[in-house]
A and B are shown apart, each in its own frame.
Chain A
Amino acid sequence: MVPLNYYLVLSGVLFAIGTAGVFLRRNLITVLLSIEIMLNAVNLTFVAVGRYRGSVDGQIITFFVMTVAAAEAAVGLALIIALFRHRETLSPDAFTALKW
């Protein structure tokens, strides 16, 4: 059986990739996709730790994380559509009205 540490390292790598995507990309859709990568890395950690503790709670919380991810994607994409109607661009640099 694969040791738990392998899964933890893989999940950390995926989370780092997602974080880098959020900070580096200049396209709002790709930023949302990177957030999905981060959520999946966390899901992998939950399932792996739950499996190695012999508990089913990891899979249950993964179920809840998935529903939250679905709600986040729906609201985030609606916001992106509304922003695109205003400015005709998807670059985060174009939306700085709240910046001091």
Chain B
Amino acid sequence: MDVLAFYVFGAIAVIASLLVVGQGNPMHSVMLLIVSFGALAGLYVLLDAPFTAVTQIIVYAGAIMVLFLFVVMLLNVPREEPAPPNVSALLGPTGMRLGVVLSLLLGAEILWALGRVGIGWFTQGSSEKSVSSVALIGSGIFLRHAFAFEATSVLILVAMIGAVVLARREHS
């Protein structure tokens, strides 16, 4: 049952993410990304993390994606332009062949490393006890990670001021 749900949510997440990258309309990309985030929230529920799942829906799918939707509608550029010819020597046929060889090398290296480590390495220390308590998360954030929490609030303030300053219309 768990494995079936994992496959369903994983397939939805991968297909939606592929479509986000693969199709041309930014509006549809944002909508498909919301679908992908919903599937990830389902995976979080499978992982006994309901708080993270709810945060994912409210913060990501609710707040951040609405921000993206506002900007997509504000700018209103439905189609992207085709690539200009010969922007750089790296984008020519030689560069592309080099890139294919390099990514194949990287894939082979990852497979080699996984083979060395052993693919079942992580399952040995798996713990069956559930850690889904919101009280545990809260005490972790506000006691052990209190400095990171305060630093995050400063970061949010800086991002807010930065966004207002950057997006302001210049008066000449």
Which residues of chain A have a CB within 8 Å of any CB of chain B?
1-8, 10, 13-14, 17-18, 20-21, 24-27, 29-30, 32-34, 36-37, 40, 43-44, 47-60, 62-64, 66-75, 77-82, 84-85, 89-91, 93
Contacts of A55 in B (CB 8 A): 131
Which residues in B have their C-beta under 8 angstroms from that of A26? 80-81, 83
Q: Are A3 and B123 in contact (CB under 8 A)?
A: yes
Minimal beta-carbon separation of A32 from chain B (angstroms): 7
Tell me if A17 and B60 are in contact (CB < 8 A): no
Smallest CB–CB gap between B140 and chain A, Å? 5
Query: What 0/1 pattern do residues 39 to 83 of B give for CB contact below 8 A with A?
Result: 010011011110110011001100110011001101101001101
Kindly report which residue of chain B lies nearest to residue A67, judged by CB atoms.
Answer: B152
- B115: chain A residues at CB < 8 Å are none
Nearest-Cβ distance from residue B2 to partner chain A, whole angstroms: 5
Q: Which residues of A contact B113 (CB under 8 A)?
A: none
Q: List 15 A-B contacts (CB under 8 A).
A: A1-B128, A17-B20, A29-B72, A36-B33, A48-B47, A56-B137, A56-B140, A59-B137, A60-B140, A70-B64, A75-B163, A78-B164, A78-B167, A81-B71, A93-B84
List of A residues within 8 angstroms of B59 by Cβ: 66, 70
Contact among B67, B125, B155 for A53, CB-based, below 8 A: B125
Number of interface residues, chain B, beta carbon within 8 A:
73
Having A10-B10, A77-B71, one finds 12 other A-B pairs with CB under 8 Å, namely: A25-B21, A29-B68, A34-B21, A36-B60, A37-B20, A44-B44, A58-B49, A62-B55, A64-B145, A66-B60, A77-B67, A78-B163
Contacts of A89 in B (CB 8 A): 77, 81
In angstroms, how far is the closest chain B Cβ from the Cβ of A31? 10
Asked if B47 contacts A7 (CB within 8 A), the reply is yes
B152 contacts across to A, CB distance below 8 A:
64, 67-68
Given the known interface contacts A27-B80, A74-B163, the answer about A59 and B51 at a Cβ–Cβ threshold of 8 Å is yes
Residues of the B chain whose Cβ atoms lie less than 8 Å from the Cβ of A57: 140
In the assembled complex, the Cα of A8 lies from the Cα of B143 at a distance in Å of 29
